[in-house]
């Protein structure tokens, strides 16, 4: 390769017009990416562009996608260490390219060493401003919202980062259709009350007010992951809550015993196979309280509980919880929206919704959000 | 990252059961990949897999895709130098994964330093045999067959490797549908008689009998790229020739002047806009001679001239050439197949067929090949 | 035409193996067809087949479709009077043809002279038994279930029988996909509590237990339309209730004044545009009572409240009504299913769901019914 | 039915603004409809419309479709005799409805009594002018162009009028997409040189210059069916010739012996399964002569030989014939267009292309015609 002598290196904090996506700390020395779908966006006028990226992990490596003018051009595993990665080269330097580097994987709460950071850029031209989009959406969810299984062969069963995707995902597709900036807050297996296996710590609401407290480990703490999130810094127009799937699953999973207290948690089935009423009520209470918390943090947003991509057993309970919340608060900007179920034809890997299921869900959700945003 | 101590390094020549795709020399120390769609295929039983890859170029870098169990999981630029790339990690080591590393870019004839080589593997398990598929297909063509423009935003216009793809391409899609091993021999802009700009050196037939003589440069010569290809080593059941598009374009392009001899080449239009008969006849003669050469090299193959993804102006001439060849030779295993035209809805980047155009072409070609392979 | 001398005439009561579809009286001298989707079905071995049909009306004529081997071959207006209509001729008389004559239009409650009857058959061969299908479904609904607007140009706005269809309709499509015999009980504009214009007489539950008491007029009374329906004669496996759309509309329509009592009926909106709670509660009570009635009449059926093809404003209320019913009765075989909304692309004539909206609804409903019928 | 006293009867010759489609004689007392796709078109402002229609036949009855504002609303068999048929009733009499009555069946050459005529109209409003469309297309073909098998269940095998359709047909779909008036000249089983069974009388070119000389019988003769067609009365912009399928079939069919002369006709196969060269040459000569005749009759039209919906065995011969014609005449407005093949998924009844095959063919033909009409 003939060396490109016009390339100049910029620490991220010194590079102008780098737009950061996703909940994170204000630090750019370096920038830490926590959530799936987070990343940086640039409008580059130049022929060549590199980023310096650093990764670490015990078990679960990170993956990124590189999106050029709205189309994914590259997707790669980021192995441990600090690397310079070439995003673009050989281009006409007179035209402006929109470039996004997107974290393709959710924060891995079970791997305390998980880390992905961007240190610097190299470019042989200039960066131009990246305007904010006219709409902001926050998606809150579980494995579906983390894009688990929306990539990869149907027969894949390993729980590995390779099978997660931020882009082949209803969140990214909906945001693009609505010309929205967006953020994702999601953990595979988690629910409103408990995770799929009845663990009460696997509940999203308890973590919602921090930057990324689902993570663990001293380094993540030092990086500020557990600090309170400043909601005033980014107020969404819409909050989409895609939760309930794992709460439903908990009824069919074994009990979870707290290793410390010995306390046993279990969402119970009645003998006739229906849900135990007390346990469903606990879910409804948790959902109702989560709505209160969401409203406190996002005073003006439309809150849409969007559920159904892997069946709808919790739908009556979700309707009851939303009803109860609305009755008490007179809050009108909360609604339930049913997402289309995944079928044999639209399933992906790991028995999760595939790309066509995500696309269909995004189409229907887009139409619904367009409608409520008119009002 | 906790180091995986079970990983062992194998020079490619020492690794068992590595299947090589694409025309190349017999050397594995290292393996040189010339053509788009070429690469290696493994059946790995293990949790982690790396390759050592080396690239070089003056202008046009290489790209590879990584395909796991038939699905593309990663696609990345390979910058100059020698790199270890992790293909897979963290997997259940008891199941067998089929892994392909595929060169995504055609040989770049205008860049004498173009190079892509695989030196070695690292794996923590074993490699199992990769059986040959029951069918073999060779695709011969131009930019369409090189997958130019079948990836990337519609507005992209730069002629860069990033916008080439071996997988989102009618060749790969047809081969997969027919469960075939396949090879690709293609150069963007080239034709049967001349390239799109009337250059008589940009003719595919003149290079067909060597391994990869479209390349230039001393290093490629030393690597054996210009040596004769041993056709007995891999005999296709079908040869698909997708040429004629650039020969048609030459009628509308300026003349080309030979920088050495000063001789001017031009496929001429009549005043009424029709093709000059003498010049069309020259194309027909070239097509007919190419059929003779293809038959000599591939005595038993069905030869299918498949044309039409960017219009059909040369179709009458192609039919006449095939007619003339068949009349003289009584060769029955040669036919013409019209591929579906690209439309506004199916176009990709650089005004070339997009993924949906390639998919449609592959569907129709697959049906046709299935039919003729019955007989 | 050469007269077919082998044709023999059979009064319907004398013809063997004529299967009658749809709620009607037991009389065959002649057979009166009341509901959309009702009709007769034959397995004919012969070359030619005619029926003698009689129609009358003041305003709204009837239409029928003729279905041969499952495919609609003919659709025609039946004008007033008694007519012989040729269904088939010139066929190979050795093969058996399945033939259905289907009423394409709902009972027209505002036209007391509405009448459609079948008197006799003419055939030159024999009729063979028509076995019952393994599944029975009853659909209860409004204009959507009557197929209003699922045929005809988008710009059509007249409320005329021509724009109703029994076949291009989610009922017929679902029944065919599930290999089910089916019946339809539907009135355009009607609801659970009131019709779209707040008329409390336009409520489906009040008429559910008679054969066809939505009709009016002395002749219909004499024909037995107002008599109690014998539910033991045909017990469905599934009852689909597609109601609520007009109840939702009533909130946005002017009040209705009873011409006799002078009493005014109106589902009211609050000042902030939400539904008045008392009025929604009245709807919920009506829905809950209807479920009690449906269960009494259909002791073993799955009852599915399927709603959403023209928006989902009543969905929370429907969920609450079903919840309340289930809580009181412990009836487990009742559920809510959301049908896909109609979009600009799938709309038909008269601002109603078009064929593609009905097809999509049928696909999703079919999948859901398959699932619950497994249990 | 309450009698509509505002209805007035008009003999067709006295009704203003009735547009006649299809080749026929100038007589309107009554109007005889010969070809499939022929009929009348009205712009009616009124609430009710009837036509008086007369039919006769020995074996093959006629069928008509009624199209309202571009959408088929009714399709019915017309039995022998003279009938008043109600096309529309109960409509808002202030809006204008476009109404077409379309003959759904080709002229039946083997039934000398075949007849379909329109005598009169009854309307309670006025008829407004029907403007000509900006484009005119003539389609010439065989069973495919007659819409044989594009309606009906896949298992249907009877050769009966019910299984023919003028509307679910690439001719009607193409004409609508291009906003064209169109005519159809087609006979099931016929070819350029012979019919599918080697009968040399089943050749379309010999009948092209008369109104409808494929018919037989004294009555048809008296009606003027055998008279020369006045080509100046309707000059198409495009002539689409979809012939060759039956000429190809003749090679695989038994010989045909002339019952009068005893002469035997047979398109022969060589021992190796290829077409006998002399016999293919006879087809090519016939095709070339037909082009001369078409050009004489249609001096300014684009002539497009569109072939391939049931395979392409004759394509090389068609290309040769068109080449030979163009070489001799320098006629530039003649071209070959390959239609998409029918597949298992797109097949209809009687092993003929189904609606989806016709739709696909129409889409591709439309795109091609749009392109050539630009020039």
Q: Do A75 and B74 touch (CB under 8 A)?
A: yes
**B158 chain-A contacts, CB cut-off 8 A:** 90-92
pLDDT at B3: 75
State the pairing for strand pair A62-68/B264-265.
unpaired
- Taking the CA of residue A242 and the nearest CA in chain C, the distance in Å comes to 17
Higher confidence at residue C166 or residue D3?
C166
pLDDT at C1: 46
Cβ distance A117 to A33 under 8 Å?
yes
pLDDT at D3: 75
Confidence of residue A2 (pLDDT cuts 50, 70, 90): low
* Angstrom distance (rounded) from CA B165 to CA B168: 6
Whether C96 shows a pLDDT value over 50: the answer reads yes
pLDDT at B1: 46
Query: What pLDDT digit, counting tens, does each position of C302-347 carry?
Result: 999 999 999 999 999 999 999 999 999 999 999 999 999 999 999 9
State the pairing for strand pair A302-307/A334-338.
parallel
pLDDT at B2: 52
In 3-state terms, what secondary structure has residue D366?
helix
* Angstrom distance (rounded) from CA B35 to CA B39: 9
pLDDT > 90 in chain A, percent: 98
The stretch D124-131 carries a mean pLDDT of 97
The stretch D72-90 carries a mean pLDDT of 97
Whether A3 shows a pLDDT value over 80: the answer reads no
Query: What pLDDT digit, counting tens, does each position of C235-283 carry?
Result: 999 999 999 999 999 999 999 999 999 999 999 999 988 999 999 999 9
Cβ distance C13 to C64 under 8 Å?
no
Which residue is closest to C334 within chain A, CA to CA?
A316
Residues of chain A with a CB closer than 8 angstroms to some CB in chain B:
1-2, 56-61, 63, 68-71, 73-77, 79-80, 86, 88-92, 113, 151-153, 155-158, 160-162
Confidence of residue C141 (pLDDT cuts 50, 70, 90): very high
- Cα distances from D294 to residues A2, C135, D199, D285, in angstroms, run 64, 58, 22, 14
ipTM of the complex: 0.96
The stretch D309-319 carries a mean pLDDT of 96
Rg (CA), chain C: 21
CB burial of residue D228 (10 Å; 0-12, 13-18, 19+): exposed
* Angstrom distance (rounded) from CA D280 to CA D286: 10
Q: Do A158 and B90 touch (CB under 8 A)?
A: yes
Whether C63 shows a pLDDT value over 50: the answer reads yes
Query: What pLDDT digit, counting tens, does each position of C114-137 carry?
Result: 999 999 999 999 999 999 999 999
Give the domains, in start order, of chain C with CATH numbers.
8-128 (2.60.120.260), 135-374 (3.40.50.1110)
D contact test, residue of C98, C125, C156 with most D CBs within 10 A: C156
pLDDT at B13: 95
Q: At what angle do helices B170-177 and B355-374 cross, to 10 degrees?
A: 40
The closest of B96, B5, B84, B87 to B40, measured between CA atoms, is B87
Q: What is the DSSP letter of D198?
A: S
State the pairing for strand pair B238-242/B302-307.
parallel
Q: What is the DSSP letter of D311?
A: B
pTM across the whole model = 0.94
The stretch A70-80 carries a mean pLDDT of 98
Query: What pLDDT digit, counting tens, does each position of D267-276 carry?
Result: 999 998 899 9
Output the six-digit token pair for C272.
């902030």
Cβ distance B225 to B212 under 8 Å?
yes
* Angstrom distance (rounded) from CA C2 to CA C18: 28
Q: Do C316 and A323 touch (CB under 8 A)?
A: yes
Query: What pLDDT digit, counting tens, does each position of C157-195 carry?
Result: 999 999 999 999 999 999 999 999 999 999 999 999 999
Output the six-digit token pair for D122.
């009854």
> How many other β-carbons are positioned within 10 Å of the β-carbon of residue D39?
24
Query: What pLDDT digit, counting tens, does each position of A315-371 carry?
Result: 999 999 999 999 999 999 999 999 999 999 999 999 999 999 999 999 999 999 999
**A276 chain-C contacts, CB cut-off 8 A:** none
**C160 chain-D contacts, CB cut-off 8 A:** 89-91
The stretch A44-50 carries a mean pLDDT of 98
Confidence of residue D1 (pLDDT cuts 50, 70, 90): very low
Query: What pLDDT digit, counting tens, does each position of A85-125 carry?
Result: 999 999 999 999 999 999 999 999 999 999 999 999 999 99
Rg (CA), chain A: 21
Instruction: Please report where in the chains the tokens 């990252």 appear, as a residue.
Output: B1
Q: Do C332 and A364 touch (CB under 8 A)?
A: no
Q: At what angle do helices C170-177 and C355-374 cross, to 10 degrees?
A: 40
Output the six-digit token pair for B139.
């695709």
Please state, rounded to an integer, the average pLDDT across all residues of chain A: 97
The stretch B71-89 carries a mean pLDDT of 98
Which residue is closest to A307 within chain C, CA to CA?
C338
């Amino acid at each position: 390769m003939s060396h490109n002598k016009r390339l100049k290196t910029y620490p991220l904090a010194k590079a102008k017009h780098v737009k950061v996506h996703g909940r994170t700390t204000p630090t750019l020395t370096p920038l830490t990416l926590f959530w799936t779908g987070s990343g940086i966006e640039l409008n580059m006028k130049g022929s060549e562009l590199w980023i310096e990226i650093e990764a670490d992990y015990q078990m679960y490596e990170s993956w990124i996608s590189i999106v050029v003018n709205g189309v994914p051009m590259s997707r790669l595993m980021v192995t441990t260490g600090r690397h310079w990665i070439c995003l673009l080269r050989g281009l006409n330097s007179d035209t402006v390219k929109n470039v996004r580097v997107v974290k393709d994987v959710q924060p891995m709460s079970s791997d305390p060493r998980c880390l992905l950071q961007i240190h610097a850029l190299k470019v042989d031209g200039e960066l131009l401003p990246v305007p904010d989009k006219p709409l902001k959406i926050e998606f809150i969810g579980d494995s579906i919202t983390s894009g688990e299984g929306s990539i990869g062969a149907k027969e894949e069963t390993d729980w590995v980062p390779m099978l997660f995707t931020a882009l082949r995902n209803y969140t990214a597709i909906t945001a693009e259709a609505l010309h929205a900036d967006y953020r994702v807050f999601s953990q595979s297996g988690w629910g409103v009350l408990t995770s799929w296996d009845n663990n009460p710590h696997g509940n999203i609401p308890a973590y919602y007010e921090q930057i990324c407290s689902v993570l663990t480990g001293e380094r993540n703490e030092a990086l500020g992951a557990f600090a309170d999130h400043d909601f005033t810094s980014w107020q969404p127009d819409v909050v989409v809550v895609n939760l309930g799937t794992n709460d439903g699953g908990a009824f069919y999973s074994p009990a979870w015993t707290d290793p410390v207290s010995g306390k046993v948690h279990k969402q119970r089935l009645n003998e006739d196979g229906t849900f135990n009423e007390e346990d469903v009520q606990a879910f409804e209470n948790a959902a109702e309280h989560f709505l209160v918390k969401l409203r406190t943090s996002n005073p003006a947003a439309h809150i849409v509980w969007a559920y159904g991509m892997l069946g709808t057993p919790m739908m009556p309970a979700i309707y009851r919880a939303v009803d109860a919340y609305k009755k008490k608060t007179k809050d009108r900007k909360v609604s339930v929206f049913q997402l289309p179920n995944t079928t044999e034809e639209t399933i992906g890997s790991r028995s999760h919704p595939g790309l066509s299921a995500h696309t269909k869900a995004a189409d229907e959700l887009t139409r619904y959000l367009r409608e409520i945003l008119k009002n």
